[in-house]
Structure 1
Amino acid sequence: MKIYLVGGAVRDRLLNIPVKDRDWLVVGATESEMLDRGYIQADGLFPVFLHPETGEEYALARRETKTAPGYKGFSVEYGPDVTLDEDLQRRDFTINALVEDEQGEVIDRVGGLDDITERRLRHITPAFQEDPVRLLRGARFIARLSKYGFSLAHDTFGLMKQMVTAEELAALKPERVWQEMSRALTEPEPWRFFEILHRCGALHTLLPKLAQAMGPDQPHADQPVSEPIKALKRSVAVGAEPIVRFVALFYGVCEGPGGSRWLTRCLPVKREYLDLLELLQGAARFYPPAARHDASATLDLLIRSRAQQHPERLNRLLMLGTILWPELGDGVSDWLHQANQAKESISPAALNEEGFQGADLGRVLRERQLKAIATLDESSVHA
């Protein structure tokens, strides 16, 4: 039995990137041997085990054979006869197929070290195109590694285009697309994910309205930057979290009739993400300064934001305002923040002490909150 550190941990260490997770490859062992050594079976489909002390994953070496379309159309063999080379050949990119032995020596059987030096993301074999998930992973890895100078190898990009032409994307489950996109939104340059999918033609299948908004796809990244990508870049520049990045990207393509319904037909978007998108759609009317005279609509928006119970919702909304309408500066966000403070200054508890109860309490609470916001409106808009 031989044990190797494999994949991202080796790659990231060579790139001087902090290593978050470590995965291990076991060659020459059986399942029973792993269990006898105290490892815990972690997966019912694949021979993956958890270390009894560290909880890290140890996978038996395996070989794969394509048997049907899609990312699940593979037969998998594993056992002590599967070699290190056979396991590495089934992996997606050369930089993810580097291993480190128990003495700390890096073993490279597929040219991964050269590709790290050249800052190149390259597939290992033409079998890359047999699994459409790899197209998504390739785009996501560029979103992660582009800041370190990485780009897609031309022949790898060519295989991605062939996948699209061969309609391999039809086998992708929306849940897997959402999973990869969600992870891409956490990366340093998430716009690269969408740009690559657009350039290879995949975005037209996966997210057609976003593809339309991004303009014609071209084989080279020299086209003007689209409004959705500009918004996504601004969200990254201000340090926004993934949910805010998502809404910044999709707000413009979810305006008008139908709203975000097209998006939910494409992807199983989290309810929290959709709620923020819909909240922003309601808030957008306040960005022309004259619209801020409507104290009733302002109060309704603040109530919908549930800012008292969930202050992060209002904070995200205010951040989106500065991202999507940068020409207005922080004025609108500051104003909505002040309006919320005015609203919260009128509390149900204080009115209850004045003797208001039931329906009267609700009516007076709204009247006084409206008055507080209207007074603020007059002093702030005309300042």
Structure 2
Amino acid sequence: MKTYLVGGAVRDKLLGRPVTEQDWVVVGATPEQLQVQGFTPVGKDFPVFLHPQTKEEYALARTERKTGHGYAGFSFYCGTEVTLEEDLIRRDLTINAMAEDEHGNIIDPYKGQADLQQKILRHVSPAFAEDPVRILRIARFAARYHHYGFRVAGETIALMQTMVSNDEVDHLVAERIWKETERALAEPNPEIFIQVLRDCHALEKIFPEINALFGVPQTALHHPEVDTGIHTLMSLQQAVKLTINTCIRFATLVHDLGKGTTPKEEWPRHIAHEERSLPLVKQLCERIAAPRDYKELALMVAQWHTHCHRAMELKPSTVLKVLQSNDAFRRPERFHQFLVCCEADARGRTGFEDRDYPQADFFRRALSAAQQIDLAPLRAQGLTGQAFGDAIARLRLDKVTQLKQEFYAQE
């Protein structure tokens, strides 16, 4: 019985990255032997055990055989004769198919170290094509390691394209798509996740609403980058600079979906794209099982981001409408998230990346001013119900009007 450190921990140690968790493979052992030593079984599909002290995962070396479609379409064999090399070859990338023994020696049968040095994400074997989740994983790894200079190998992109053309991605379940997408949004370059999916033709299958944005022109005066898909990825880059919040990053990614349905005869203008975005955001979120808070913020940004960009031009009553329609008084934190999305959108344009975005500050000041009203006189008047609500609205409007007047005076 031998134990090896495997996978991401070995990869990240060699890259000089911090190792956050360690996974282990046990060769030549039976489940009964591990349980006698105090390991706790946790695996349902194959034998995985928790170490009695560290609680780290120890899996018996195993082989896999394709039995059906999708992530769950596999059978496993975990006999004591299964070798470490047989266990490693079932993994996705060569850089994830290395192991380290108890003396610190690296076992690297599939040249993972060479690919680390050359900064290449390459599949280990043709068996990669048996699991469609790996398309999402490779795109996510590309997003994680892009700033190190990593790229996906040409032959791996070609294999992923074959998987798409064979309809393997049609067997991806919503929960797996969302899990990988959310993790990708947390990476340093989530726009690369989208780009790799597009390169292998999976974007049109998994995120057709986003794929439809590429090749759609916008007015060059306001969008020097012209292409709506490029603008979307640039906005996502800006969101990364502004926040680590994946909910904000997701809302930024899907804020312009309606532009993908603009009739060609109306290009490069996109009148009413905000309203056209709403059903598209809803169907995308439902299809990939996005959580409710992600969906709600995404819908807010899709519908109201243009109002935010025009903050200085809006009448006080319209400013108040934006605040009320987005429940800013009861949920100010979510409204502040909305403003970050709008700023990322405004900066996600060629030549505008470092521009100030005073509109967000104006709306923050408007919300703060409208929150600072004295309710005591209204209660003293005995107002209740609709009358009480109308009186609050009038006071808030007065505050916003005063703020606008101060702004114009400064101008």
Q: Considering the TM-score relative to the shorter chain, is it more than 0.5?
A: yes
Q: Secondary structure at the match of 1:325?
A: helix
Q: Does 1:173 align with 2:173?
A: yes
Q: Does 1:376 align with 2:373?
A: no
In the alignment, which residue of structure 2 is the partner of 1:339? Answer: 366
Q: Could you tell me how far 1:290 is from its partner in structure 2?
A: 5.8
Q: 1:234 aligns with which of 238, 242, 245?
A: 238
Q: Look up the equivalent residue of 1:285 and give its one-letter code.
A: H
Q: Is the 8 A contact 1:285 1:291 kept in 2?
A: no
In the alignment, which residue of structure 2 is the partner of 1:279? Answer: 300
For 1:193 and 1:85, the matched residues in 2 are separated by: 30
Q: Look up the equivalent residue of 1:119 and give its one-letter code.
A: K
Q: Identity of counterpart residues, as a percentage?
A: 38
For 1:185 and 1:343, the matched residues in 2 are separated by: 34
In the alignment, which residue of structure 1 is the partner of 2:153? Answer: 153
Q: Could you tell me how far 1:343 is from its partner in structure 2?
A: 1.1
Question: Structure 1's 320 and 53: CA in aligned 2 closer, same or farther, altered over 3 A?
Answer: same
Q: Look up the equivalent residue of 1:299 and give its one-letter code.
A: L
Q: Secondary structure at the match of 1:336?
A: helix
Instruction: In structure 1, list runs of 5 or more residues that go unmatched.
Output: 217-222
In the alignment, which residue of structure 2 is the partner of 1:219? Answer: none
Alignment deviations for residues 351-381 of structure 1 (CA, whole Å, 9 cap, x no partner): 4366544444323222111111122122224
Q: Is the 8 A contact 2:239 2:248 kept in 1?
A: yes
Q: Does 1:99 align with 2:121?
A: no
In the alignment, which residue of structure 2 is the partner of 1:268? Answer: 289
For 2:29 and 2:110, the matched residues in 1 are separated by: 23
Q: Could you tell me how far 1:237 is from its partner in structure 2?
A: 2.4
In the alignment, which residue of structure 2 is the partner of 1:312? Answer: 333
- Structure 1 window deviating more from structure 2 (187-196 vs 232-241): it is 232-241
Q: Is the 8 A contact 1:286 1:292 kept in 2?
A: no
Q: Could you tell me how far 1:265 is from its partner in structure 2?
A: 4.5
Q: Is the 8 A contact 1:248 1:324 kept in 2?
A: yes
For 1:272 and 1:381, the matched residues in 2 are separated by: 36
For 2:105 and 2:331, the matched residues in 1 are separated by: 50
Q: Secondary structure at the match of 1:141?
A: helix
In the alignment, which residue of structure 1 is the partner of 2:254? Answer: 250
For 2:181 and 2:367, the matched residues in 1 are separated by: 33
In the alignment, which residue of structure 2 is the partner of 1:196? Answer: 196
Q: Is the 8 A contact 1:4 1:25 kept in 2?
A: yes
Q: Is the 8 A contact 1:50 1:56 kept in 2?
A: yes
For 2:13 and 2:275, the matched residues in 1 are separated by: 47
Question: Structure 1's 103 and 370: CA in aligned 2 closer, same or farther, altered over 3 A?
Answer: same
Q: Could you tell me how far 1:311 is from its partner in structure 2?
A: 3.6
Q: Secondary structure at the match of 2:139?
A: helix
For 1:309 and 1:116, the matched residues in 2 are separated by: 50
Instruction: In structure 2, list runs of 5 or more residues that go unmatched.
Output: 217-225, 259-273
Q: Secondary structure at the match of 1:182?
A: helix
Q: Secondary structure at the match of 1:140?
A: helix
Q: Could you tell me how far 1:282 is from its partner in structure 2?
A: 2.9
In the alignment, which residue of structure 2 is the partner of 1:33? Answer: 33
Q: Does 1:134 align with 2:134?
A: yes
Q: Secondary structure at the match of 2:55?
A: coil
Q: Could you tell me how far 1:323 is from its partner in structure 2?
A: 1.2
Q: Could you tell me how far 1:29 is from its partner in structure 2?
A: 1.1
Q: Is the 8 A contact 2:186 2:244 kept in 1?
A: no
Alignment deviations for residues 310-362 of structure 1 (CA, whole Å, 9 cap, x no partner): 44212212212211123573221111011111111015456436654444432
Q: Look up the equivalent residue of 1:241 and give its one-letter code.
A: N
Q: Secondary structure at the match of 2:275?
A: coil
For 1:93 and 1:52, the matched residues in 2 are separated by: 30
Q: TM-score, normalised by structure 2?
A: 0.86
Q: Is the 8 A contact 2:92 2:134 kept in 1?
A: yes
Q: Is the 8 A contact 2:6 2:23 kept in 1?
A: yes
In the alignment, which residue of structure 2 is the partner of 1:46? Answer: 46
Alignment deviations for residues 246-282 of structure 1 (CA, whole Å, 9 cap, x no partner): 1111101143333423313532111101111222223
Q: Look up the equivalent residue of 1:279 and give its one-letter code.
A: M
Q: Could you tell me how far 1:291 is from its partner in structure 2?
A: 4.4
Q: Could you tell me how far 1:106 is from its partner in structure 2?
A: 1.2
For 1:226 and 1:368, the matched residues in 2 are separated by: 43
Alignment deviations for residues 104-156 of structure 1 (CA, whole Å, 9 cap, x no partner): 11111111111111111111111111111111111111101111111111111
In the alignment, which residue of structure 2 is the partner of 1:220? Answer: none
Q: Look up the equivalent residue of 2:336 and give its one-letter code.
A: N
The alignment's C-alpha RMSD in Å is 2.2
Q: Could you tell me how far 1:103 is from its partner in structure 2?
A: 1.2
Q: Look up the equivalent residue of 2:310 and give its one-letter code.
A: P
- Structure 1 window deviating more from structure 2 (36-45 vs 162-171): it is 36-45
Q: Secondary structure at the match of 1:5?
A: strand
Q: Could you tell me how far 1:306 is from its partner in structure 2?
A: 4.3
In the alignment, which residue of structure 1 is the partner of 2:219? Answer: none
Alignment deviations for residues 195-221 of structure 1 (CA, whole Å, 9 cap, x no partner): 0111111111111121111239xxxxx
Q: TM-score, normalised by structure 1?
A: 0.92
- Structure 1 window deviating more from structure 2 (233-242 vs 143-152): it is 233-242
